Structure 1
Amino acid sequence: MKFSTTLKALGFTTAVALAPLMAVSAQAAGTLTTAVAIDPGSWDPIDTFLVDWSSAANNIFDGLTARGADMKLKPGLATSWELLDDNKRIRFKLRENVKFHNGEPFNAEAVKFTFDRLLGEEGKKGPQQSNYTSIDHVEVVDENTVDFVMKQPDPVLLTKLAGYGAMIVPPKYIQEKGDAYFNTHPVGTGPFKFVEYNPKVNLVLEANPEHWGGAPKLDKVVTRFISEANTQVAELQAGRIDVATLIPFGLAPTVEKSPNLDLVSITGPTVVSLRFNTKEGITKDPNVRKALITGVDRDAIIKAVLLGHAKPIASFQSELSFGNDPAMKPVPFDLAKAKKMLQDAKVPAGAPVRIDFRGNDATFREVAQATAGYLQALGLKPSLQPHEPPVLLNDIIPNGKTGEAWHQAWGGWTFDYDNTAYLMYHTGEKWNPYGSDPKLDALLEKQRTVYDVKEREKILQEVARYVADQALELPLYNQNTIYGVNKRVKNFDAPADRRFRFTETTVE
């Protein structure tokens, strides 16, 4: 079998990849320039779920809780919290003497305004509201204390309060300027203040010397929007950006060998699998699904296609995920055993297996081609069906129009298996078009009522083992988070989730 990992297969021209390193252009000390692929279009926390939003806006806004690159939850705008009334109420003590960038005071009314807005009509327009529906409402106890009155338990809430929709926003500013203005002129309490936003070009921030956590060591952070990976690498080589977030596997060695650059490759949240159609075709039979898992050599794919920048997985989560069971091991590759399993299941030679995947993902196209090679070696007839991502994600998968298998990539920024497993396996969810399993539903629902960390982890691990036993998917790999970083950048604490916080970073 041939695994093509050429630059051409990855979608890059030889000219770009083999261009000699240009002299690093001078940039002002104190100014850090990063590049992300997507311009979110709005900087309002309730308007987006994009990681690229958080790569920049995590420096503008603070949440009640915070999570750093070490993945540990810690106080943010709330200094402490406690569960009251049999877990029906969460009381937060707020940090005092904090101001928004426009001088407006942060207090309990700002927290209430933020969540009234998130859970109300404005929040309904965006994708974040559904993450916080466990909250009934927020009550002001005093100027520096708020209560979250809960509709139902939510053991992941404290993590969710550290990012995206839950970031605290200024009431007076939004009421005076309006939502549309706030989208493009954001104000928060974070370590950097908004200066300028040029759509499709860049976002410019400057240090907030009065930040409650201390003044940042940088003067300015510029985020450029560069959608092409080869362009990001070229700009990184030229010294016009300091941190690149789009480093394709095929160009990782180029960055690594560059004298002025560092390649950072770390375990991240992104996992990739082939989910199975459990209602139709040969994959309706769990024994067939187990045979397909056994017959694909994921270690070889990781080595040949991903150049080692990934790890095999036993369940649809990374090793950093809460709920991951280190005792679970990936099913070992055994082609002869897989063939025997298919024979025992009376699968006819040449049975079709169609794989639907995101057509714009050049790396996964190679993964799919390699997988198809293994399926062909099993005596099956694989076919690859690329789709435009919106079509695959909003029509083919949710409406149950896939072939025997389909491509699923998932980030799970909370690093909590609940936010993956519930959406993937619970009856009626968008990403579960074929399955309805009362036992699995009960486990998924039960863990959402449990605040005890050890008990809840045990239930999530049981979910993972049950999914593996039912062979609902072929877990492929946990993809590394990769950065290219100019060596002039110091104290860059690389976050696995790409949610940058540049308070301690400096540039020479």
Structure 2
Amino acid sequence: MSVPKSISTMAAAFCLLAGAAMATPAAAQSGQLVVAPSSDVLTLDPSLDTSPISLNVFKNIYDQLTDIAADGSVAPLLAARWEAGENATAWTFTIKTNAKFHDGAPVTVEDVIWSYQKIIDDPKSPVRAYLTKVRSIEKVSADKLRFTLSAPFAAFDRQVSLISILPRKVYEERGAGFAQNPVGSGPYKVVRWIKDDRVELEAFAGYHGGTPKIKTVIFRPVPSESARAAALSSGEVDIVPLLPPALVDRMSSRKGVRVEKVPSNRVIYLGFDVNNPVLSNLKLRQAIDMSIDRNTITTRLLRGLGHPIGQVVAPVTFGYDPAIKPTAYNADEAKKLLKESGYNGEPIVFQYPNNRYAFGEEVAQAVVGYMKAVGINVEMQGMDYSAFFPLWTSKKLNGMHMFAFGPSIMDADLPLGSLYETGPARAYWSNAKVNELIAQQRAETDPAKRRAQIGQIWQLSKDNVPYVMLYNEVQAYGIKDNVKWTARPDERLLFKDAQLAK
């Protein structure tokens, strides 16, 4: 486990950052809010990316048919209302008539249908994984459209909150250039994107939900944790998502800064390519599961910013089953299982993003330390999140990896579709019973029965160990006192309703 950087190192990192941006400090009088995520967006085209960091920017620029509120409920957005037909296989949405794109053009049913069809027709789009059940889309009237699904899908009204609506005319005119100079219908419009420096947004006065109260929002990527904290202390940035544990106490005592902690919907886990000859061995995966001391990681390393967990959804997400407990640490049993597995010390590549999670590098080191202590040979390959994420989406993590899932729809169906269902998703493990249960829970309208079906999947996962669940992350945000904004469990950075104190 590494120790936090010294004050001098923090100051040096901040000086480098400040030299690039000190000319435009965040100030309440300017109506400017500066947010410092750990990395930049991959693109500004929401049909080409599903990464959480990009989604935070997309949700400020674009609208979707529905929205997920902070309490996990489904709320209207571009759709004024909707209804599900029999067996949840036909869904009709009525869109608002006063919504406009940033260029002043009205948002039409045709734009909505085209946006969905574009994604469905693009085999390279990672967003396509969310729409595999859509069989057809049709215009019903000037303000209504209907989705016909190939199978029942009880959470479809949540799923459409992930699909941003694009202006067909502008998109086709700009082509590839749309990804750098986009047009949406959300509360903020893009002023400029300078790669690895900033995405600058300006409030859209014609927004159908009311003009945002803050004129300018800047997403400024700062990979260094210490540099982000230093920039917050100096007043250069207003919000720092995911403060590392070592800096939480320090930032809490800083004048003009508050720290908000929120139990998140994000679960940190280890994934395996079970088709890898070494990792195809169940007893080896069980040994890895038992070799890790989750309590020590969360209480000492993370200083309470995490809770051990045994499933891929957190308590705030629909589908969480309290009966599924975290795996207990048992080094002796791990060694026994390792011996029974016939493992001969073959090196296992371990890939992970080193700039995405609080203490992500340190957690990876701790996990590897535990595995090595029972005799598992691990080769660490940490990398920038922007390099890791494409490998994850394309199923090219062919050893062991550490990642996380925080379902933005606050429903277990999203990780089930992404991590467990056989097909065009990211699952390396395939199980017929799991596929059957996934289909059953999608057709189940009784919440209690649906929870029970999902719980069976978590038990099958625990028995077969295609994933090793580590902990549910408690997230800490550093926020300037003059910023009126509340952190959410789903990690979304939405600023339509944010304010700056006078």
What TM-score do the two structures reach when normalised by structure 1?
A: 0.83
Q: CA deviation at 1:306?
A: 1.5
Q: Deviations over 1:175-215 (max 9, x none)?
A: 4x323343223222222233333333222222223322222
Q: Does 1:6 align with 2:3?
A: yes
Matches for 1:434-445 after TM superposition, within 5 Å: 435-445=429-439
* Farther-moved stretch of structure 1 (19-28 vs 309-318): 19-28
Distance 1:354 1:393, change over 3 A: farther
> Which residue number in structure 2 is paired with residue 497 of structure 1?
490
Distance between the aligned counterparts of 1:256 and 1:173, measured in 2?
46
Per the TM alignment, residue 333 of structure 1 is displaced from its structure 2 partner at its CA by 3.5
Greater Cα shift, 74-83 or 186-195: 186-195
Structure 1 residue 35, shift from structure 2 partner: 1.8
C-alpha deviation, 1:466, in angstroms: 1.9
Separation in structure 2 between the aligned mates of residue 482 and residue 357 of structure 1, nearest angstrom: 27
Distance (whole Å) between structure 2 residues aligned to residue 212 and residue 366 of structure 1? 44
Post-superposition CA distance 1:201-258 (Å, at most 9, x none):
2222222233222222222222223233332222212111101225333333332222
Matched ranges for 1:270-281 at <5 A: 270-275=266-271
Matching residue's letter, 1:194: V
Cα offsets for 1:11-38 (capped at 9, x unmatched): x454234789999966242221112233
Kept in 1: contact 2:242–2:475 (CA 8 A): no
CA distance in 1, matches of 2:389, 2:196: 26
SS in 1 for 2:378: strand
What residue is the counterpart of 1:38 in the other structure? 39
Question: C-alpha offsets along residues 368-394 of structure 1, whole Å, 9 cap, x if unaligned?
Answer: 4434554566xx313331125558974
Residue among 460, 475, 479 paired with 1:481: 475
1:361 aligns with 2:354: yes
Deviates more, 1:136-145 or 1:419-428: 419-428
Of 357, 379, 384, which residue of structure 1 is paired with 2:378?
A: 384
Q: Does the C-alpha gap of structure 1 residues 111 and 265 become closer, same or farther in structure 2, counting only changes over 3 Å? A: same
Asked if 2 retains the 8 angstrom alpha-carbon contact of 1:265 and 1:482, the reply is yes
Identity score, percent = 25
Match of 2:377, SS state, is: strand
CA distance in 2, matches of 1:284, 1:128: 29
Report the Cα offset of residue 144 of structure 1.
1.2
> Which residue type is aligned with residue 494 of structure 2?
R
**Does residue 420 of structure 1 match 2:415?**
yes
Q: Distance in 2 between matches of 1:173 and 1:431?
A: 32
Distance 1:42 1:382, change over 3 A: closer
Aligned equivalent of 1:107? 108
Evaluate the alpha carbon distance shift between residue 204 and residue 470 of structure 1 in structure 2; reply closer, same or farther with a 3 A threshold. Answer: closer
How far apart are the structure 1 equivalents of 2:124 and 2:396?
A: 23
Matches within 5 A, 1:84-483: 84=85, 86-120=87-121, 123-163=122-162, 166-175=163-172, 177-275=173-271, 286=282, 289-290=285-286, 292-334=288-330, 342=337, 346=340, 352=345, 356-358=349-351, 361=354, 363-375=359-371, 380-387=374-381, 389=383, 394=391, 398=395, 401-402=398-399, 406-427=401-422, 431-433=426-428, 435-483=429-477
Alpha-carbon contact 1:138-1:147 (below 8 Å) kept: yes
CA displacement 1:378-422 (0-9 Å, x = unmatched): xx31333112555897499957853xx543433433333233234
In the alignment, structure 1 segments of 5+ residues that lack a partner are none
> What is the RMSD of the two structures over their aligned residues, measured on CA atoms?
3.5
Closer, same or farther: CA 105–354 of 1 in aligned 2, 3 Å:
same
Other-structure match for 2:72: 71
8 Å contact from structure 1 (residues 216, 503) kept in 2: yes
Q: Which letter does structure 1 place at the counterpart of 2:457?
A: V
Alignment match, 2:57: 56
Paired amino acid for 1:108: V
SS at match of 2:303: coil
- In the alignment, which residue of structure 2 is the partner of 1:27? 27
CA distance in 1, matches of 2:45, 2:286: 45
Task: Output one character per residue of 1:93-143: Cα deviation in whole Å (capped at 9) or x when no partner.
Answer: 1212222222211232222222232223xx444321232132223211111
Question: What is the Cα deviation at residue 455 of structure 1?
Answer: 2.9
1:277 positional shift: 6.8
CA shift in 2, pair 1:52/1:285, >3 Å: closer
Assess if the C-alpha contact under 8 Å between 2:129 and 2:424 holds in 1: no
Distance 1:230 1:144, change over 3 A: same
Q: Residues 213 and 115 of structure 1: is their aligned pair in 2 closer, same or farther, counting only changes over 3 Å?
A: same
- Structure having the higher Rg: 1
Change (3 A) 1:21 1:112: closer
Contact 1:269 / 1:318 at 8 angstroms: preserved in 2?
yes
Preserved contact between residue 272 and residue 407 of structure 1 (Cα < 8 Å)? yes
- Which 5+ residue runs of structure 2 have no aligned equivalent? none
Corresponding pairs, count? 487
1:437-474 per-position Cα deviation (integer Å, ceiling 9, x unaligned)? 33233223333444544333221111002222334433
8 Å Cα contact 2:350/2:401 also seen in 1: yes
| CA deviation after TM superposition for structure 1 residue 319, in Å | 1.6
User: Structure 1 CA distance, aligned partners of 2:201 and 2:264?
Assistant: 26
| Aligned partner letter, 2:475 | T
Question: What CA distance in whole angstroms lies between the structure 1 residues aligned with 2:139 and 2:279?
Answer: 54
The one-letter code sitting in structure 2 at the alignment partner of 1:15 is S
Deviations 1:49-80 (A, max 9, x none): 12222222312211110113222211111111
Question: What's the secondary structure of 2:252's corresponding residue?
Answer: helix
Q: Secondary structure at the match of 2:267?
A: strand
SS in 2 for 1:47: coil
- 273 and 254 in structure 1: CA distance in 2 versus 1, 3 angstrom threshold: same
Q: What is the rounded CA distance, in whole Å, between the counterparts of 2:101 and 2:291 in structure 1?
A: 56
Q: Distance in 2 between matches of 1:283 and 1:126?
A: 29
